[in-house]
Structure 1
C-alpha cells in the first residue's frame, strides 16, 4: 500500500522556510508584487551566496530561493531585510498573501489598494486567516488574475466600478475606492468567523455557507491570455516550469525592475526589446508554456519521479493548445486545479489522468514514458 503524501497545510516564507530535498526553500513575497532593479541584483547575489543557485517563481507571484543551508539562513534574512524584502514577523508574512495585477500605473487605484491592504494585513487587528488564504488586487480595466489562486478578489465590473468578490461566486459587492480595502478586511473577518474546518473561501461557499447580503453585481469574465511579448509597460518573458538560475536573474537586473505574475512569467519594466538571455522563453508558441511541473524528485522528498525531464520530453508531443500537468506525487502542488492532462508519479510508474487532479483516478496507469508519448 502506497503511503499518502504528507500535506503540510502551509506555505514557506522567508522568516518561516520549509525544508525540502535540496535544503531550505525560502519564499520571498515582493511588496506590491514588484522588485526594483537593485533588489533583483541583490537577490541574485544572496541566492548565489546562500542557496544552490536555483530560483523558483511560484503560482502566487512569489520568488523562492532553493537549497539554503540552515546555518546560512540568518545571514540571508539579514540581507533581505536590508533590501526591504521581509516582514516584521512570520505571522504578518503569512497573512500578506497577495497577488497584484502586473499592469498597474504609478499612482493608480491598484497601487493605492495594494499599499492599503498591505498595511491592513500587517496591523494587530488583522484577521487570523489560514496560511494559504490569499487576496488578488485585480483592479485594472479588465481582470487578468481570475485563473490564479485567491480567496478574496478586488476587481472592476463591466461599467468600471469597483467590486469585491468572494472566490467561487460569479457576482460581487459594489464598493467605492474609499471602502474597498475595509470591505475586503470585513469579508476576511467574516470568513474566519464562519469557516469551521475550511481553509479556502470557495470550499466554504461550496459547503452551503451563504455570504452576507450585497453580492449581486456580475463580474467581468477574463479574456486576457498571458504570453511572452511586449506590453505598454515592458516585456513579458516566460520561464520553463517557473525556474531560473541566479545568473539569469542577475542578467535580468540589467534590463529593469521586475513585476511578478502567477503565470511563471516576469514583466521586465520599460524593456523595449525581449532580453536574449538563456533560460528565458520569448516565443509565445513554445509548448513549455503549456506545461506545469513541480520540483519532483530528488529535490522534493515526496516526489516519485523527476518531473521536469519527463515534461521536456513530452512537450514536442503536445498538440496545439493542449495543457499538461506533471506531478511528482498525488498532491499536485504545482497545479491544484483540474487539468486536461495530468501525469502523476507513483512507485509503480506514471499515471495519466484526464480532466482531473493529480490525485484522481487515472484513465491509464503504470505507464512508461514511451507509453505516455503515444497516449497524449
Structure 2
C-alpha cells in the first residue's frame, strides 16, 4: 500500500479542535506594549508582496514591530483593542491563516534532497484529525530529518523519519519507539486522545510511558537505528531538489515594519518570488539562481539582519525591554547588541544568553546559560535558569560590559564558553560580576 493511500485511510473522523486562548489573529494577547497577534501562515510561505502588505498592516494597526518566533511563526506587536477587528480583516485579505491543531514540519519539507521522508502527507493527515479537549499549546512535529534541524522545538508528539517506511516516535521528552509510515497517523491520533482525556491543561509530558506503550502496542514496530544528522539551523545556503535557498535571521527575532518592507522590496526587485518563515527566527528565500539569493543576502546584511550561522547574536535572546514595553526596566535589545558586538568571542555557539526587561522572560521561556534581568534599579544575573529564578547577584547596568570582559578573560586556550562557565561555577561567576 502506498504512503499516500495508507495515510488517507488511517484517520478516523473526530470532532473539530477547540481553539484556546493563544495569541492568535482572532484572540490577541495583552503584553507590555499592547496586544500581540500570532499569525500561523500555512507552510510559512509568503510572496515578497504579501510580506510587504503584512508589514504595512502592522505599522498601520500596531507599533510597527514584527517578530519571527523560534518556531517560525510571525507575530505583530503593539495592536490596539479598537483596531484588532480591522487588523484581522486586513490580514485575511492578504493571506490564509492556519487554525486548529498545531502540526509543524521543516520549512524545506518536500523540496529537501537530504530528508529521509517527506513529512507533509503525515502532517496533513494529522491536521485533518481534529479532537476535542486539547489545550491550545499542544503541538505535533513531523520531521523528515533534512537540512534544517527541528530538535530544539518542543513537541507533545514528535515523529522523526528514520527512513521512508519508519518514524521514530517521542511523546514529550519520552522516546516511545518506532512506527511504520502506515501507522504513524493512527499513533498520533491515539496519543492526542490520551492527552485530551486528561483535560485541557494536559500535555504529552503528563502521560506515563507505560500508558503510551500499552495504547500503542499493536502499532509499535521493530526499532530502526537512529542515524544522527549534524544540527543545522536555518541560516545559510541550501540546495533543493529543483532550486536553491538562502536563510537569514532577525536579530533577536525582531524587525521594524519599515526594514521588513525594504527587505521584501529588494526581493521583488531581484525577481525572488517565494519566502519561507522558518524556525530559529529565520526567513528563507528561494530562487533558481544562487547569485540572486546571495545578492539578497548581502542587502539583508546591510539592513542589519543575521546572515551567517556564527553571528554572535544567534546565541542571545532579548525582548524589546524598556524601549517598547511598559514592563521593561532595561533596554534589553540595545544591551544585547552591545554585548554581542564587544564580547563576540564569548558567544561561540556553546552557551546562551537571555537579556530580559523584566522577570516574565518573554523572549526565552526556557533556561539559558546566563540570564540578565532588568529590575527597578539594577540588572539581576541568573545562572542556568529562567528570568524569574533567584539571581546570583545584582549589578548596575553601567558595570555590565566590564563584568562580561572579566568573564571572557577567564576562558582558557581552546576552551568553549560553556566549559568555562561550568569550570568556574556559580559562586565564581557571581564574584566576577561583583568585580571582587
TM-score, with length taken from structure 2: 0.72
Aligned to 1:330: 359
Matches within 5 A, 1:35-184: 35-86=46-97, 93=99, 95-105=100-110, 109-121=118-130, 126-141=131-146, 144-157=149-162, 161-176=166-181, 178-184=182-188
Higher alpha-carbon Rg: 2
Quote the offset at 1:267 in angstroms: 1.3
Name the CA distance, whole Å, in 2 between partners of 1:299 and 1:309.
12
For residues 328 and 122 of structure 2, the distance between their equivalents in structure 1, rounded to whole angstroms, comes to 39
User: Which residue is equivalent to 1:261?
Assistant: 278
Displacement, 1:74?
Answer: 1.7
Match of 1:200 among 198, 203, 223: 203
Structure 1 position 161, deviation (Å): 1.9
Give the stretch that moved more between structures: 179-188 or 10-19. Answer: 179-188
Q: 1:212 corresponds to which residue?
A: 213
Residue 317 (str. 1) matches residue 320 (str. 2): no
2:382 aligns to what SS in structure 1?
strand
Classify the secondary structure of the residue corresponding to 2:141: strand
User: Structure 2: how far apart are the matches of 1:334 and 1:342?
Assistant: 11
RMSD of aligned Cα (Å): 2.9
Q: Report if aligned partners of 2:235, 2:246 keep a CA contact under 8 Å in 1.
A: yes
Asked whether the equivalents of residues 59 and 264 of structure 1 are also in contact (C-alpha less than 8 Å), the reply is: yes
CA shift, 1:151, in A, is: 1.5
Contact kept? 1:297, 1:306, Cα under 8 Å:
yes
Contact 1:314–1:373 (Cα < 8 Å) also in 2: no
Cα displacement (A) at 1:235? 0.4
3-state secondary structure, aligned to 1:241: helix
Q: Is 1:352–1:364's contact at 8 Å kept on the other side of the alignment?
A: yes
Q: Does the 8 Å contact 2:248/2:283 carry over to 1?
A: yes
Query: What's the counterpart of residue 223 of structure 1?
Result: 230
Q: In the TM superposition, what whole-angstrom CA distance separates every residue of 1:165-222 from its partner, at most 9, and x where no partner exists? A: 212113434131x4323321221111122368x54323x25x8874233468465555
Residue 287 (structure 2) pairs with residue 286 (structure 1): no
Task: Indicate conservation of the 8 Å contact 2:234/2:278, yes or no.
Answer: no
Is the 8 Å Cα contact of residues 304 and 347 (structure 1) preserved in structure 2?
yes
Structure 1, gaps ≥5 residues long? 1-8, 88-92
TM alignment of 1:25-40, pairs within 5 A: 25-40=36-51
From the superposition, tell whether residues 66 and 344 of structure 1 become closer, same or farther in structure 2 (CA, over 3 Å).
Answer: same
Report the Cα distance in structure 2 between the residues aligned to 1:219 and 1:167, rounded to whole angstroms.
18
Aligned match of 1:17: 28
Provide closer, same or farther for how the CA distance between residues 54 and 350 of structure 1 changes in structure 2, counting only shifts above 3 A: same
Deviation at 1:50, TM superposition (A): 2.2
Look up the match of 1:4.
none
Aligned to 1:5: none
1:283 Cα offset (Å): 2.8
Runs of 5+ unmatched residues, structure 2: 1-19, 408-436
Counterparts of 1:68 and 1:54, CA distance in 2:
10
Partner of 2:391: 362
Shift of 1:371: 3.6
Cα drift, residue 85 of structure 1 = 2.3
For residues 199 and 230 of structure 2, the distance between their equivalents in structure 1, rounded to whole angstroms, comes to 31
Contact 1:156 1:219 in 2 (8 A): no
User: How far 1:77 sits from its partner (Å)?
Assistant: 1.4
How many residues end up aligned between the 2 structures? 354
Q: Secondary structure at the match of 1:130?
A: coil
Corresponding residue for 1:239?
250
